[in-house]
Amino acid sequence: MDPVNISEFETLARERMSRQAFDYVAGGADDEITLAKNRAAFERITLHPRVLVDVSTVDTSTEVLGQRISFPVLVAPTAFQTLAHPDGELATARATSAAGTIMIVSTLASFRLEDIAAAAPGPKWFQLYCCKERAATQQLVERAETSGYDAICLTVDVSRLGRRERDLRNQFTLPPEVVPRNFEDAANLSAFPQTERRSLLTAYVADLLNDSLTWDDVAWIRSITKLPVVLKGILTCEDARLAADMGVEAIVISNHGGRQLDGVPAGVDVLPEIAAAVGDRVEVLVDGGIRRGTDVVKALALGARGVLLGRPYVWGLAADGQAGVTKVLQMLHDEVELALALCGCPSVEAVSAGLVGRR
Ligand SMILES: Cc1cc2nc3c(=O)[nH]c(=O)nc-3n(C[C@H](O)[C@H](O)[C@H](O)COP(=O)(O)O)c2cc1C
């Protein structure tokens, strides 16, 4: 079967991946209420297109943090991509670079951030999880800067890991070859037997993440890097204003793909109020549930400069490695172009608030 849409890529990935790995990627926290909201939110938003506009050429490109990208979709940070395919993040980097957009590389990548940067020349941001030890965090930031990353994207919604019940049910554990290679000592994990490794990994991640993070740490991160800082995981106007006051360059409105606090709203549902609260003081991105070109156009109309794509490219990776990621990004690009044309928008700039409603 040659998938004709992202949902069919998910079906293919389900066939190719182990149950454990598929559920790790697909699942959300607790009752997966927020996970479901991420899709339902887009389904409720209606499009109100203008007609008789010349759309013989449609320019899908846009600019994020001063970087021209081919379409307003960035590749979201996802951990442990070798769970989906042995080429993991290297394949994603090559496909994203060829597609002309930005890859955000996870702290918990299964290759070293240096190797991912070297795999393909395209623009990349480094997604940072703050470690308990400031020195370890600083080292990650310095390595990212040295390797040519263009921004630090600090994830702020993981003070603790959400409770992913599919993983509990499946007794999910990382296969021995899947290791968070950004940490020197991580290779030791594979020396442990399966059962011990599971608890060890949970303990390792809990031990790694700093659950005492505050706005002071954001100021500290800004002080140790020349790179622009992006905060990922903002859901309220109050926090968005604080981020703007602190001088961060961009925020990602995100509920972490429904994987953290269950019961929070879909990012796209709080997007209009947050975009209004910060104006043009920070660039506003949103993620969660983007599966169609029309979803991207809806997010733009509601005030986002661009969106992040999570699970769909992981499905592409699982289905067919680099070629699969390329196909997913191409498919979404073509859908964005078609949606813009049918909305009467010859460019991303032509998208305005009047394009969307709720009827
Ligand atoms: C398997 C998986 C791993 C993820 N790992 C990370 C991560 O390491 N860091 C991070 O900031 N977000 C992580 N996320 C969240 C994504 O960056 C993004 O917010 C979310 O997937 C967007 O929703 P979508 O999957 O519906 O597109 C992960 C998401 C998934 C599905």
Domain boundaries, the chain: 6-352
278 Cα: distance to centroid of ligand 1 (angstroms): 24
The best mutation among 32, 102, 259 to test binding of ligand 1, ranked by most ligand atoms within 8 Å of the C-beta, falls on 259
* Cross-strand bridge partners of residue 37: none
Q: Which of 269, 244, 261, 242 is nearest to 253 (CA)?
A: 269
Prediction pTM value:
0.96
Show the ligand 1 pocket: residues with CB < 6 angstroms: 25, 38, 76-79, 106, 108, 127, 155, 232, 254, 256-257, 259, 287-290, 308-311
Nearest CA to ligand 1 atom 20: 257
Report the share of the chain in percent with pLDDT over 70: 94
Residues 237-260: tens digit of each pLDDT: 999 999 999 999 999 999 999 999
- How far apart (Å, rounded) are the C-alpha atoms in residues 216 and 196? 36
Residues 92-137: tens digit of each pLDDT: 999 999 999 999 999 999 999 999 999 999 999 999 999 989 999 9
At the top level of CATH, the class of 6-352 is alpha beta
Radius of gyration of the chain (CA): 19
Q: Give the list of residues 6+ apart from residue 310 with CB closer than 8 angstroms, or none.
A: 76, 78, 257, 287, 288
Q: Looking at ligand 1, which atom is closest to the CA of residue 252? A: 19
Q: Which pLDDT score is estimated for 205?
A: 72
Q: Which residues are catalytic?
A: 256
Q: Which pLDDT score is estimated for 167?
A: 95
Residues 288-341: tens digit of each pLDDT: 999 999 999 999 999 999 999 999 999 999 999 999 999 999 999 999 999 999
Q: Looking at ligand 1, which atom is closest to the CA of residue 24? A: 1
Residues 174-217: tens digit of each pLDDT: 898 998 999 866 545 555 555 555 545 566 677 778 899 999 99
351 Cα: distance to centroid of ligand 1 (angstroms): 27
Are 50 and 350 in contact by the 8 Å Cβ rule? The answer is no
Q: Which pLDDT score is estimated for 207?
A: 74
* Cross-strand bridge partners of residue 91: none
Which whole number is the average pLDDT over 83-95?
A: 98
